[in-house]
Amino acid sequence: MSEKKLRSHEWYGRKGKDGFIYRSWMKNQGFPHHLFEGGKPVIGICNTWSEFTPCNAHFKDLAAALKRGIWEAGGFPLEFPVMSLGECSIKPTAMLFRNLASMDVEESIRANAMDGVVLMCGCDKTTPSLVMGAASVDLPTLVLSGGPMLVGRFKGKKIGTSDVWRFAEDFKTGKLSQEEFIEAEAAMSRSVGHCAPMGTASTMAAMVEALGLALPDNATIPAADSRRKVLAHMAGIRIVEMVKEDLKMSKILNRKAFENAIMVNAALGGSTNFILHLTAIAKRIGVDIDLTDFDKFSAMIPLIANVQPSGEHWVEDLFYAGGLPAVLKEIKDKIHVDNLTVTGKTLGENIEGAECYDRNLIGTLDKPIKPDSGIAVLKGNLCPDGAVIKPSAASPNLLKHTGRAVVFENIDEYKAKIDQPDLDIDENCVMVMKNVGPKGYPGMPEVGNMGLPSKLLEKGIKDMVRISDGRMSGTGYGTVILHVSPESAIGGPLALVKNGDIIELDVPNRSLNLLISDEEMEKRKKEFKPIELPYERGYVNLYLDRVNQAHEGVDFDFLQGSSGSEVKRDSH
């Protein structure tokens, strides 16, 4: 290929002063001159390594393997850091900063001399933030995930993130001591990698594989397995070829790719966070999807993978059973197998050799693990722009339920009251939490699967209907209605619910209603006073100004779409 075609030539291939400036300082790293003049594709490695993001803390090793592949294929790798979001580290919630990280990624890719980019993603928000940012530039782009942890072991039992919620309940009721709790912490996180169940991180790793942005097996090879490094090496070889083929993101991310991702998420019983992130990515690349697509395409696919939290096992086990390619093979008659992927081949060609080695782990369309999976989208006077529930993680007997509302005006009131013995609540009540939406918290935290009152846990109650405008961890479970839109902080109907109101949930008919008259609803609307959001300066001020609602992906209005990869002006 001619040198001129390379984008990096606009930096390193220049004559005179401009070329001097773009190259000279780079040479302080010991790069010989021929790297800059041979027309070698420059591959950016967008790395979310951070010791504050433990799920991505092994990314230096992984980047080294990736670089070996890039060198081998004749590319020139240059690694750069971007904002890294550790789900369990960041206050008040990593989601508050997803859009900020995506801006960092977008501008870093566009402003620098790269021809293609590998996105190194792991912990929950590190995947959507990188993919969103890269989509707004649209270079040849390949996603390399960090892989799941090895399954934890505690008192002879396999454990992972989904157990945190169970341990927390056992601790509350005195079944686990503080010492045992501390032992469990170390037992759960015993290897590098992200959460071991099909939580949001693995959901995202599977999403990019289903979209066609990652190599086969990206979703499931454990982080600690040497084959993860082989995958990184192969990703390095492949991204160099992708630059030569000009295989940009927009050639892969068509509408069918998004439909595939939704169907695959149903097959895996993946995280509800998937909805927000996929919607935001689609709006960046200019594909039109909305909540009804999640309901419609999810409904076509039962639960195929027997992985927590919807099933019993772990992402590590799923790898041994054949990995995501084997799951895709089971639903190949439903998904669009003719879609192009980063391999340069179609999704169908990628899975030709896939095989299932364990029917306990991977079901079939005729004999699925569970008949209902995916995401149900609810509508009604409580959620005019939609709300979501994950039926595979809910209690079947609660999917149709009418109960008395017990309202918490915000997270602080919930924490103060939930364990008080005189709280007027029983197992038939519907727990309602307000002001945990995109603006209300702010940042839409993962508190929607609010823990049950101690006095009901002690009675042996395991699940209740819970409603909020917040999110839930991908490892959470229960009859939990999330993402109520519009949110309560801006006057959505959720803000108008009062203690003692009756709420009717009907998942089979996709409805969620507050049983009060229209007149009463109007009266309450008039009385509504917005809550104070005391953020006068800085990023959070910008966030509150420009963030959109859950059904739109919680992105900033001004970030939707793409600005391309061209930069017209030089730095000197």
* Beta carbon of residue 201, minimum distance to ligand FES (angstroms, whole number): 3
**What binding mask, one character per residue, do residues 120-159 give for ligand FES by CB under 6 A, x or -?**
---xx-----------------------------------
> Rule CB under 6 A: is residue 201 a binding residue for ligand FES?
yes
* Among 177, 226, 208, residue whose Cα is nearest residue 281: 208
Q: Which residues contact 486 (CB under 8 A, 6 or more apart)?
A: 384, 385, 492, 549
- Which does residue 163 touch among Mg ion, ligand FES, none (CB within 5 to 8 A, set by kind)? none
> Rule CB under 6 A: is residue 55 a binding residue for ligand FES?
yes
> Rule CB under 5 A: is residue 54 a binding residue for Mg ion?
no
Choose, by CB under 6 A, the member of 79, 87, 106, 552 that binds ligand FES: 87
Q: Which residues contact 32 (CB under 8 A, 6 or more apart)?
A: none
- Which does residue 194 touch among Mg ion, ligand FES, none (CB within 5 to 8 A, set by kind)? ligand FES
Question: What are the angstrom distances between the C-alpha of 275 and each of 223, 254, 290, 374?
Answer: 25, 17, 9, 10
Q: Which residues contact 428 (CB under 8 A, 6 or more apart)?
A: 401, 403, 404
> Rule CB under 5 A: is residue 199 a binding residue for Mg ion?
yes
List the interface residues with Mg ion, window 82-101 (CB under 5 A).
Answer: 87
* Beta carbon of residue 205, minimum distance to ligand FES (angstroms, whole number): 10
Q: Select 89 or 250, whichever has its Cβ closest to ligand FES.
A: 89
φ, ψ dihedrals at 448, nearest 5° = -65, -30
* Region from 100-108, 191-199, 356-364, 450-458 binding ligand FES, contact rule CB under 6 A: 191-199
* Beta carbon of residue 94, minimum distance to ligand FES (angstroms, whole number): 9
Return contacts of 448-453, CB within 8 angstroms, 24+ apart: 448/472, 448/476, 448/480, 448/481, 448/482, 449/165, 449/473, 449/476, 449/477, 449/478, 449/480, 450/408, 450/414, 450/418, 451/165, 451/168, 451/169, 451/172, 451/418, 452/169, 453/418, 453/419, 453/423, 453/425
Q: Select 87 or 293, whichever has its Cβ closest to ligand FES.
A: 87
**Rounded CA separation 194/188 (Å):** 11
Q: Select 35 or 88, whichever has its Cβ closest to ligand FES.
A: 88
User: Strand pairing partners for 120?
Assistant: 47, 144
Q: What is the dihedral of CA 468, 470, 474, 476, to 10 degrees?
A: -40
Q: For residue 218, what are its two tokens?
A: 């990206």
Q: Select 199 or 403, whichever has its Cβ closest to Mg ion.
A: 199
> Rule CB under 6 A: is residue 270 a binding residue for ligand FES?
no
* Beta carbon of residue 196, minimum distance to ligand FES (angstroms, whole number): 9
**Tokens 């992105």 appear where?**
555
* Beta carbon of residue 87, minimum distance to Mg ion (angstroms, whole number): 5
The residue length of the chain stands at 572
* Region from 195-203, 318-326, 359-367, 526-534 binding Mg ion, contact rule CB under 5 A: 195-203
**Tokens 């999917």 appear where?**
399
* Beta carbon of residue 124, minimum distance to ligand FES (angstroms, whole number): 5
**Rounded CA separation 470/388 (Å):** 11
Choose, by CB under 6 A, the member of 23, 194, 238, 390 that binds ligand FES: 194
Q: What is the dihedral of CA 349, 352, 357, 359, to 10 degrees?
A: 80
> Rule CB under 6 A: is residue 101 a binding residue for ligand FES?
no
For 153, the enclosing helix (H) or strand (E) is strand 152-154
* Beta carbon of residue 129, minimum distance to ligand FES (angstroms, whole number): 13
> Rule CB under 6 A: is residue 197 a binding residue for ligand FES?
no
* Beta carbon of residue 85, minimum distance to ligand FES (angstroms, whole number): 9
How many CB atoms are located within 10 Å of the residue 376 CB?
A: 22
* Region from 194-202, 330-338, 353-361, 372-380 binding ligand FES, contact rule CB under 6 A: 194-202
Question: What are the angstrom distances between the C-alpha of 292 and each of 31, 245, 303, 388, 400?
Answer: 52, 35, 19, 11, 20
> Rule CB under 6 A: is residue 88 a binding residue for ligand FES?
yes
**What binding mask, one character per residue, do residues 402-441 give for ligand FES by CB under 6 A, x or -?**
----------------------------------------
Number of residues that bind ligand FES (CB under 6 A): 10
* Beta carbon of residue 94, minimum distance to Mg ion (angstroms, whole number): 9
Q: Could you tell me if 184 and 281 are in contact, meaning their C-beta atoms sit under 8 angstroms apart?
A: no
Choose, by CB under 6 A, the member of 39, 199, 322, 470 that binds ligand FES: 199
Choose, by CB under 5 A, the member of 129, 279, 473, 485 that binds Mg ion: 473
- Which does residue 88 touch among Mg ion, ligand FES, none (CB within 5 to 8 A, set by kind)? ligand FES
> Rule CB under 6 A: is residue 83 a binding residue for ligand FES?
no
Q: Select 46 or 490, whichever has its Cβ closest to ligand FES.
A: 46
Q: Where are the beta strands (DSSP E) in 206-298?
A: none
Which of 522-537 are b and which e, b meaning 16 or more Cβ less than 10 Å from the residue's Cβ? eebeeeeeebebeeee
> Rule CB under 6 A: is residue 195 a binding residue for ligand FES?
yes
Choose, by CB under 5 A, the member of 79, 124, 241, 469 that binds Mg ion: 124
> Rule CB under 6 A: is residue 66 a binding residue for ligand FES?
no
Q: Could you tell me if 405 and 432 are in contact, meaning their C-beta atoms sit under 8 angstroms apart?
A: yes
List the interface residues with Mg ion, window 200-239 (CB under 5 A).
Answer: 200
* Beta carbon of residue 61, minimum distance to Mg ion (angstroms, whole number): 23
Q: Select 217 or 446, whichever has its Cβ closest to ligand FES.
A: 446
φ, ψ dihedrals at 216, nearest 5° = -55, 145
**Rounded CA separation 479/483 (Å):** 14
Residue 510 backbone class (left: φ over 0; alpha: ψ -120 to 50; beta: rest)? left
Q: Select 127 or 488, whichever has its Cβ closest to ligand FES.
A: 127
Q: How would you class 338 by CB atoms within 10 Å of its CB: exposed for 0-12, middle for 13-18, buried for 19 or more?
A: exposed
> Rule CB under 6 A: is residue 299 a binding residue for ligand FES?
no
* Beta carbon of residue 22, minimum distance to Mg ion (angstroms, whole number): 41
Q: Could you tell me if 502 and 515 are in contact, meaning their C-beta atoms sit under 8 angstroms apart?
A: yes
Which residues lie near ligand FES (CB under 6 A)?
55, 87-88, 123-124, 161, 194-195, 199, 201
Which residues lie near Mg ion (CB under 5 A)?
87, 124, 199-200, 473-474
